[in-house]
Amino acid sequence: MLNIHLLVTVAVLTMAPHRVTQQPQTVALLDYHATVPAAWTFRKPSSTMRLAEYVAGSAGGAEVVVYFFGPSQGGTVDANLARWKSQFSNPSGAPVDEKISHEKSGAFPLTIAEYHGTYARGTGAGSAPDEARPDHVLLAIVAETPKGTLFFQLFGPTAAVAAQRTAFLAFVHSLK
């Protein structure tokens, strides 16, 4: 009788639909929390100024970094916008297109900036010209919280950033 019961149990289990439910991941940023998209892979932050780092989508694609430099640290929004713009160039030498918008309807005031072109990512004015990456995008969001300014960045090849844009915006907007 035990063998028949075991056989029936195995048959029922193998016929049952297989569902994997994944609980949303959250990350603590200061004393706030944000929901991390399921397609992102956590990467250990490479410096103490980085609260979180992710590979967004497949490896070699887009990356997400969340910075916090300390209360009243990190520079003004305008200084950061100017620095990020200076890290981009166009092969034609034309000015870099920038899109800047502001949101005040969420939990915190947000400044959203987007840059396209050849990206010399790095500190200050950027990395060396031979390390610059053509056809890249930086989507940066500055969240001005009562505990300090958080800097969110999604960057990488144009197609990879486009594929993660909606997830990135949802991630930032989930900050509570």
pLDDT of 123: 52
State the Cα–Cα distance between residues 6 and 168, nearest whole angstrom. Answer: 47
Backbone torsion region of residue 43, taken as left when φ is above 0, otherwise alpha when ψ lies between -120 and 50, otherwise beta:
beta
Cβ(165)–Cβ(158) below 8 Å: no
Distance CA 3, CA 10 (A): 11
Distance CA 141, CA 113 (A): 6
What structural domains and CATH numbers belong to the chain? Answer: 25-173 (3.40.1000.10)
Q: pTM to 2 decimals?
A: 0.82
The pLDDT of residue 91: 86
How would you write the pLDDT of the chain (176 residues) with one tens digit per residue?
A: 444 433 333 333 333 333 334 456 999 999 999 999 999 999 999 999 999 999 998 877 899 999 999 998 999 999 999 999 999 999 888 889 899 999 987 889 999 999 999 999 865 544 455 578 899 999 999 999 999 999 999 999 999 999 999 999 999 999 99
34: tokens are 């944000």
Predicted confidence at residue 171, as pLDDT, reads 97
Query: Which residues, 6 or more positions from 133, have their beta carbon under 8 angstroms from its beta carbon?
Result: 118, 119, 120, 121, 157
| CA distances, 6 to each of 2, 12, 14 (Å) | 6, 10, 12
Distances (CA, A) of 101 to 10, 40, 50, 58, 81: 57, 25, 24, 28, 11
Long-range Cβ contact pairs of 15-18 (< 8 A, separation 24 or more): none
Q: Output b/e per residue, 63-76; b: 16+ Cβ within 10 A.
A: bbbbbbeeeeebee
As given in the structure block, the two tokens for residue 139 are 């989507």
pLDDT at residue 13 in the model: 36
